[in-house]
């Protein structure tokens, strides 16, 4: 048993403790029992190494349970929550700490509270207000309204969705007074504010030079502006199975990073040069879309996957990804159960690691290319979609039967749409006429993409499931894990035979 494998078991035990406490509240006597058993296995049976490892695994399980319980305690002791759902209005002073989420009929502002009714207080509040007047990141505001607990809808737990971001209170349609405009608290936040200003200029360039719905698709791809897409377009993307192209997800970042590597190597760069340039481009891309937690997680997983490829240890990439996931849930344990994006990012990368080589072997008849390696694109698409399919069915109750076809038709163009789109948006800031001319090839590519989506977004293309039980989810991944293990074992035996 190697040290890296033992450390992997410790990571899995820690994650298991967080998951266990998230579904079943572990009592203090039970927690103490796990702790005592682990200590006994380590101290009494020290000569039996496997039992000692089990003992340490129990200790890490206890640490995971304890970490999740501390976060639950922090939620219960949150200062702002004590003012939720009171009859009287409150007066809150705080600062906008995220880029405003501008939607069709309203704007959502994430506020870091500084005082409430004149009393110093800490905590985040989500404000829903009119689109106008517009507020910016860094604005200091005086807000008057009723502090409420976020709602739980029949088909969506909005309360849990906000909880993973540390938001436990909301105010709807309050009175707002601007106290100080773009009041930054330090150089780091000031730099971030300048990046958001640059992003707004790119946004203006895109929407001035491209008509809708092409502009909304491109805005989602390179700026993360998903809210600008109409509900009808979102539904078509879901039915066609290509909604992921407009989300900064693990699959999105991983596919983008590998395509970038292939293109840079095709242009004549050494692998090391291509690796570092790809990492730099990914970092710039994540900063440009506003550094949302989902993009940071996806970028970290994509970067780790590239690192495993670079050092030639793709076989150990899964351990690296598990360790990265451990670090993420250690910082925020609520991600594990409440953040579907985190789950999809992790599963997509694991699918590419374990099923990608198998599909590439099966698709040997597809020729390799210098610029667009269609075999790799298809392999990654299929492997990522297979590994994320059960969790998608469980959470959203629907799958697309045409997704493999639409992804093969669209994904080879994704890189060109994003790069050409960024170039024309950037030049459009400097000279609008040139930006408009350079937007033509992007418009052609996006029109093709929308044509494919319209063709395949018919009612028959989506299969709907109702009331999917969590046992189905567990059984699906057990079966998928067994099949993947057998396929990898068979491929290794064939390799050894030859």
Tell me, yes or no, whether 476 and 456 share the same domain. yes
In a domain, 196, yes or no: no
- For strand 119-120 and strand 124-129, is the pairing parallel, antiparallel, or unpaired? unpaired
Looking at the fold, whether 324 and 402 belong to one and the same domain comes out as: yes
Q: Are residues 161 and 295 in the same domain?
A: no
Domain boundary among 76, 111, 130: 76
| Residue 51 domain flag | yes
Whether cis (ω within 30° of 0) applies to the bond prior to 457 is no
Whether residue 464 is contained in a domain is answered as yes
Q: What is the pLDDT of residue 251?
A: 56
C-alpha count within 13 angstroms, C-beta hemisphere, residue 72: 13
DSSP string, 93-160: EEEE-S--EE-SS-EEEEEEEEEETTEE---EEEEEE-SSS---TT-EEEEEE--BPPP--SS--HHH
Q: How many CB atoms lie within 10 A of CB 155?
A: 6
User: For residue 197, is it within any domain?
Assistant: no
Instruction: Give percent of the chain with pLDDT exceeding 70.
Output: 89
* CA nearest neighbour of 165 among 296, 285, 345: 296
Distance CA 304, CA 325 (A): 11
Who's near 369: CB < 8 A, 6+ residues apart? none
* pLDDT computed for residue 308 by the predictor: 63
Residue 161 and residue 262 in one domain:
no
Give the count of beta carbons closer than 10 Å to the beta carbon of residue 260: 22
Whether 192 is covered by a domain: the verdict is: no
- Average pLDDT over the chain, rounded to an integer: 82
Three-state SS for 332-382 is CCCHHHHCHHHHHHHHHHHHHHHHHHHHHHHCCCCCCCCCCCHHHHHHHHH
Of 132, 147, 180, which one is at a domain's C-terminal end?
A: 180
Q: For residues 33 and 127, state if they share a domain.
A: no
Residues 298 and 365 in one domain: yes
CA distance 322 to 54: 19
Q: Is the domain of 397 the same as that of 493?
A: yes
Find the domain containing 95 and state its range. 81-180
Query: Is 158 in the same domain as 241?
Result: no
pLDDT digits (tens, 9 = 90+) for 6-47: 888 999 999 999 999 988 888 888 999 999 999 998 888 787
For 39-91, write each residue's pLDDT tens digit: 998 888 787 888 889 999 999 999 999 999 999 888 888 888 888 888 889 99
Is residue 279 included in any domain, yes or no? yes
Average pLDDT rounded to a whole number, residues 344-369: 81
Domain boundary among 114, 148, 180: 180
Q: What percent of the chain is helix, strand and coil (3-state, nearest 5)?
A: 65, 10, 25
Mean pLDDT of 242-255: 70
- What is the CATH number for 96? 2.40.50.140
Same-domain check for residues 44 and 151: no
The neighbouring-strand residues paired with 464 are 398
Per-residue pLDDT tens over the stretch 188-231: 667 777 777 888 888 888 888 888 889 889 888 888 777 778 88
**Which 8-state DSSP code applies to residue 167?**
E
How many independent structural domains does the chain possess?
3
pLDDT single digits (tens) 249-260: 655 676 667 667
Structural domain contains residue 173: yes
Q: For residue 294, what are the contacts with CB-CB under 8 A and spacing of at least 6?
A: 247, 248, 249, 339, 341, 342, 345
In this prediction, residue 370 carries a pLDDT of 52
Residue 50 is classified by DSSP as H
Q: From residue 283, how far is each of 28, 247, 288, 303 by CA, in Å?
A: 43, 16, 9, 9
Q: What length is written for the chain?
A: 498
Same domain, 34 and 111: no
Q: State residue 302's pLDDT score.
A: 65
**C-alpha–C-alpha distance, residues 332 and 25, integer Å:** 18
User: 444 and 464 share a domain?
Assistant: yes
Residue 143 within any structural domain of the chain: yes
Shared domain for 36 and 16, answered yes or no, is: yes
Cis upstream peptide for 133 (omega within 30°) = yes
């Amino acid at each position: 048993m190697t040290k890296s494998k033992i450390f992997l078991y410790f990571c899995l035990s820690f994650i298991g403790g967080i998951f266990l406490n998230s579904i079943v509240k572990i009592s203090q006597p039970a927690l103490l029992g796990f702790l005592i058993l682990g200590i006994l296995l380590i101290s009494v049976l020290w000569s039996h190494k496997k039992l000692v490892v089990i003992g340490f695994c129990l200790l890490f399980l206890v640490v995971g349970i304890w970490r999740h319980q501390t976060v639950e305690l922090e939620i219960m002791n949150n200062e702002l929550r004590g003012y939720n759902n009171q009859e009287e209005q409150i007066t809150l002073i705080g600062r906008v700490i995220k880029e405003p989420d501008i939607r069709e009929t309203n704007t959502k502002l994430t506020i870091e509270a500084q005082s409430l009714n004149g009393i110093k207080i800490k905590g985040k509040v989500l404000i829903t207000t009119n689109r106008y007047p517009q507020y910016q990141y860094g604005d200091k505001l005086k807000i008057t309204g009723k502090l409420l607990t976020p709602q739980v809808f029949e088909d969506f737990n909005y309360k849990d969705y906000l909880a993973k971001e540390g938001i436990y209170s909301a105010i709807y349609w309050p009175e707002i007074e601007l106290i100080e405009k773009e009041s930054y608290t330090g150089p780091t936040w000031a730099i971030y504010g300048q990046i958001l200003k640059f992003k707004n200029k790119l946004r203006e360039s895109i929407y001035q030079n491209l008509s809708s719905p092409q502009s909304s698709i491109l805005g989602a791809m390179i700026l993360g502006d998903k809210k600008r897409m109409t509900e009808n377009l979102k539904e078509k993307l879901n039915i066609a199975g290509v909604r992921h192209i407009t989300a900064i997800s693990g699959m999105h970042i991983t596919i983008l990073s590998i395509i970038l590597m292939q293109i840079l190597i095709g242009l004549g760069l050494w692998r090391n040069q291509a690796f570092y340039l790809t990492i730099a481009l990914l970092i710039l891309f994540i900063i440009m879309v506003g550094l949302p937690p989902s993009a940071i997680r996806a970028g970290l997983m994509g970067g780790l996957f590239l690192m495993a490829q670079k050092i030639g240890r793709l076989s150990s990439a899964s351990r690296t990804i598990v360790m990265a996931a451990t670090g993420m849930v250690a910082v925020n344990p609520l991600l594990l159960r409440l953040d579907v994006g985190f789950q999809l990012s992790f599963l997509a990368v694991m699918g590419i690691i374990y099923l990608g080589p198998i599909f590439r072997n099966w698709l040997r008849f597809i020729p390799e290319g210098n610029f667009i390696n269609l075999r790799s694109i298809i392999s990654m698409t299929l492997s990522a979609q297979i590994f994320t399919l059960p969790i998608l069915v469980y959470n959203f109750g629907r799958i697309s039967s045409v997704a493999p076809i639409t992804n093969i038709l669209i994904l080879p163009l994704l890189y060109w749409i994003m790069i050409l789109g960024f170039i024309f948006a950037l030049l459009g800031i400097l000279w609008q006429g040139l930006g408009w001319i350079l937007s033509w090839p992007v418009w052609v590519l996006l029109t093709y993409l929308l044509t494919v989506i319209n063709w395949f977004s018919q009612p028959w293309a989506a299969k709907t499931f109702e009331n999917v039980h969590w046992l189905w989810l567990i059984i699906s991944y057990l079966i998928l894990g067994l099949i993947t293990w057998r396929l990898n074992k068979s491929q290794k035996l064939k390799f050894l035979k030859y």
